[in-house]
Amino acid sequence: MGGTFGALLAERRAALVGRDAELAALLGVLDDGGPLAAIVHGVAGAGKSALLRAFRAEAVARGVAVVAIDGRAIEPTEHAFRAALGAQEPAQPGRRTVLVVDTAERLRLIDGWLRRELLPSLPAHVRVVLATRDAPGAAWRSSFGPLLQTVALGPLAPSDATEVLHRAGLDDEQAAWVNRFTRGHPLSLQLAASAVRARPGAAEDAILPTVVQELAALYLDGLDAATREALDATSVLRRVTLSLLAPLVPGEPPQAAFARLSGLPFVELGREGLVVHDTVREAVLALLRAADPVRHRAYRAAAWRQIRGELAGATGAARWASVADMLALVEEPLVREAFFPASVQHYAVERARPQDRDAIEAIAARHEAPAEVAQVRAWWEAVPHAFRVARDPRGRVVAFTVLCEVGDVPSRLLADDPVCEPWRRHLADHPVPEGQQVLFARQALAHGTGAETSPCLAALLRDLERASLESGPAVRRIYSVVRGEALQAQIAPIGFAPLPGREFEHGGRMHRPTLLDLGPDSVAGWVSRLAADDPGADGARLDGDARELLLGGRRIALTKLECDVLRHLREREGRPVTRESLLRDVWGYEWTGGSNVVEVAVSGLRRKLGDRAGALETVRGVGYRLREL
């Protein structure tokens, strides 16, 4: 029977043990009159992907067209989701089609859009199945009511768990032992079975609170040294590709390490490369960080350099993939949470709808003087698309922000708004090169707590950050304003710096304008800097705020110009950089000074680099090139 598609189908269906009821519930969406959508939820390793695989196989067998999307493989934006849909083979018109989205927790950022816009817009013959870690929130339940089938994946029943272990080659005694402490958790069963096969005599004292982590460790102890090294190295990555493996595991051809990793029971081959199961990857990473921090730093540094190189030449989807790779190295919580939310988001953030006007005005009126409420009204009239709102689980607007590209704002509104005045002046004094965008993040206000930090405002801030980055590769600067120290302290780690001397009073409150300059390489450069600023990401560390270079244990003070030149060169490490690009991107268009400014700055830098000065090379007839510091 082997070798045919039918055999594969049978194998996939048979591979699923103990999930008959859940599979039947899912298949209900294929019936006329059945639910229109289903959500499978369960903890990591509960077997959601396996259930979806079986469901897809059964759907295909019934003649249903399947469109499958893996949340890990796409950018969490509306555009990318639509692109992924469009990339699939179109089904015949009217044919029953099911859209299957695995790892949907990675798409939390577009949860509201999926629920409110995409799903209702799908043709009537399409059904939807999502797999995610968290149970669907009230918003999903109220939107779909009985038309949403919710399938909770709990632990396997003891008899089913035993069946899984028998299939994995364990005898009754071994299966009973493993069953005692895995308690039916499918990934734990899988790992335990592998561990027992690899080390039949392992001690039975593995009954520990974090069963999966302990199992991962137990399993890892049984791996050969080369596989273990490859797994350690790649635990710093969100996906494993040949190009990323090469610098991380230099001792062997990347193809060999790739093949070894792909044979592990908790590693899957995805569209973007190998994906180590999150639970195991996090356990491996935690072990590595605790047991061998030097090696952990070295892996991060090697990954950072490789990803930065890939970012430089990437466009389109490949660019997003590399940005996401770099984001995965960033440990700054505000950034991590914006892109990889760790928990259920209580507040749905989305563009404001016309009917939100009154709620937005009411929030402004609770906290602001009448003049400022009038400004909010004027912005709503002129640029309603700039408003984004946070909704509580009941759907009520509890906070709003205003963010837009400066070119979208009528000049009269800008001229009349005192909040924008310092931004306009700064921009006039320091224009950005043509083609680069400037965003104004004018306001963030919550119903209960005003402009102070709060969970719903934090959700909006993460959304602002994300929306800014999604605006495209040309975003250069984001201007904002803060009123309190707490908010400034919150956004400072991602690069927002106060505009000195431009504080002003408005509506009886002091306002402090602040600026995030992403640099000439926009989002890619900014993310690279954030990842490099994390301890251990790079051997040499440039602290832009303190204007210091940390090199070989020394703190080297730099002028602002030297700092900017060095940053520009480091972002292009290993590549020649022309004098013209340095003049344009570091000095800016407004620079009209003499012709030797670049040479003077480079010469100053070399002096300060001391015995590492040779890393800053002159490329005759071109400009300069920075080697690894």
> Shortest distance, CB of residue 456 to another protein, whole angstroms?
8
- Judged by beta carbon, residue 453 or residue 471, the one nearer another protein is 453
- Is 394 a binder of another protein (CB under 8 A)? yes
454 is a site residue for another protein (CB under 8 A)? yes
Contacts of 28 (CB under 8 A, 6+ apart): 34, 35, 38, 149
Q: Please say which residue, 395 or 535, places its beta carbon nearer to another protein.
A: 395
Buried b (16+ CB within 10 A) or exposed e, 570-606: bbbbeebbebeebbebbbeeeeeeeeebbeebbeebe
Residue number with CB closer to another protein (139 or 267): 139
Strands 504-506 and 497-498: unpaired
User: Is 447 among the residues that bind another protein (CB under 8 A)?
Assistant: yes
Asked if residue 620 binds another protein (CB under 8 A), the reply is no
Min separation Cβ 448 and another protein, Å: 4
Task: Tell me the C-alpha distance between 239 and 324, whole Å.
Answer: 10
State the pairing for strand pair 475-482/437-446.
parallel
Dihedral of alpha carbons 245, 251, 257, 260, sign: negative
Q: How far is the CB of 336 from another protein (least distance, A)?
A: 18
Looking at beta carbons only, is 154 or 448 nearer to another protein? 448
User: Which residue, 449 or 471, is less far from another protein as judged by CB?
Assistant: 449
Site for another protein (CB under 8 A): which residue of 143, 227, 453, 581?
453
- Strand 273-276 relative to strand 497-498, pairing: unpaired
Question: What minimum distance in Å lies between the beta carbon of 135 and another protein?
Answer: 9
Of 304-312, 344-352, 529-537, 578-586, the window that binds another protein (rule: CB under 8 A) is 344-352
211-221 and 172-182 helices, crossing angle to 10°: 130
Residue 615 as a binder of another protein (CB under 8 A): the answer is no
450 binds another protein (CB under 8 A): yes
Q: Is 392 in the site for another protein (CB under 8 A)?
A: yes
Interaction of residue 575 with another protein, rule CB under 8 A: no
Tokens 């959508």 belong to residue:
37
Nearer CB in complex with another protein: 343/411 = 343
Q: Which two tokens stand for residue 116?
A: 């409110």
Containing H/E element for 517?
strand 509-517
CB-CB contact of 66 with 100 (8 Å):
yes
Q: Tell me whether residue 27 or residue 359 sits nearer to another protein (CB atom).
A: 359
CA 234 to chain CA centroid, Å, is 17
Minimum CB–partner distance for residue 481 and another protein (Å): 19
How many whole angstroms from its chain centre is CA 415? 37
Residue 223's closest CA among 197, 248, 249, 255?
A: 197
Is residue 398 a contact residue for another protein (CB under 8 A)? Answer: yes
- Provide the minimum distance between the beta carbon of 449 and another protein in the complex, in angstroms, as a whole number: 4
Does 396 help bind another protein (rule: CB under 8 A)?
A: yes
Q: Tell me: does residue 137 bind another protein (CB under 8 A).
A: yes
Residue with smaller CB distance to another protein, 446 or 542: 446
| Least CB distance to another protein at residue 390 (A) | 10
Taking each helix axis from N to C terminus, what angle separates 293-313 and 316-329, rounded to the nearest 10 degrees? Answer: 160
Q: Which two tokens stand for residue 151?
A: 């399938």
Work out whether 455 is an interface residue with another protein (CB under 8 A). yes
Nearest CB to another protein, comparing residues 446 and 577: 446
Helix (H) or strand (E) holding 69: strand 65-70
Only one of the segments 2-10, 205-213, 446-454, 603-611 lies at the binding site for another protein (rule: CB under 8 A); that segment is 446-454
347 binds another protein (CB under 8 A): yes
Indicate whether 199 belongs to the interface with another protein (CB under 8 A).
no
Q: Which of 564, 572, 552, 629 is nearest to 601 (CA)?
A: 564
Closest approach of another protein to the CB of residue 239, in Å = 31
Closest CA to 130 of 112, 153, 105: 105
- Considering only CA atoms, which of 143, 103, 95, 135 is closest in space to residue 119? 143
Q: How far apart are CA 53 and CA 15, in angstroms?
A: 10
Q: What are the CA-CA distances from residue 469 to residues 324, 385, 438, 509, 575 (Å)?
A: 12, 17, 12, 30, 25
104 binds another protein (CB under 8 A): no
- Minimum distance between the CB of residue 460 and another protein, rounded to whole angstroms? 13
Rg over alpha carbons for the chain, rounded to the nearest Å, is 27
Smallest gap from residue 445 Cβ to another protein (A): 12
| Positions 41 through 60 that interact with another protein (CB under 8 A) | none
Beta bridge partners of 440: 404, 479
Q: Which is nearer to another protein, 337 or 405 (CB)?
A: 337
What whole-number distance in Å separates Cα of residue 250 and Cα of residue 235?
16
Query: Does position 154 bind another protein by CB under 8 A?
Result: no
Site string for another protein, 212-231 (x = CB under 8 A): --------------------
Q: What stretches of 211-356 show up as alpha helix (H) in DSSP?
A: 211-221, 225-234, 242-248, 254-262, 278-291, 293-313, 316-329, 333-339
Contact range with another protein by CB under 8 A, out of 82-90, 394-402, 502-510, 541-549: 394-402
What is the helix (H) or strand (E) element at residue 403, kind and residue range? strand 397-405
* Least distance between another protein and beta carbon 343 (Å): 10
In this chain, which stretch among 280-288, 293-301, 380-388, 391-399 interacts with another protein, using CB under 8 A? 391-399
In whole angstroms, give the CA distance from residue 293 to residue 144.
Answer: 48
User: How far, in Å, CA of 213 to CA of 207, rounded?
Assistant: 11
Q: Which is nearer to another protein, 79 or 396 (CB)?
A: 396
Q: Does 341 bind another protein (CB under 8 A)?
A: no
Should residue 337 be labelled a site residue for another protein when binding is judged by CB under 8 A? no
Tell me which of 138, 152, 176, 510 binds another protein, using CB under 8 A: 138
C-alpha–C-alpha distance, residues 41 and 48, integer Å:
7
Binding status of residue 449 toward another protein by CB under 8 A: yes
144 binds another protein (CB under 8 A): no
Q: Does 472 bind another protein (CB under 8 A)?
A: no
List the one residue from 112, 341, 393, 604 that touches another protein (CB under 8 A). Answer: 393
Q: Using CB under 8 A as the criterion, which residues of the chain lie in contact with another protein when the complex forms? A: 137-138, 344, 346-347, 392-394, 396, 398, 447-450, 452-456
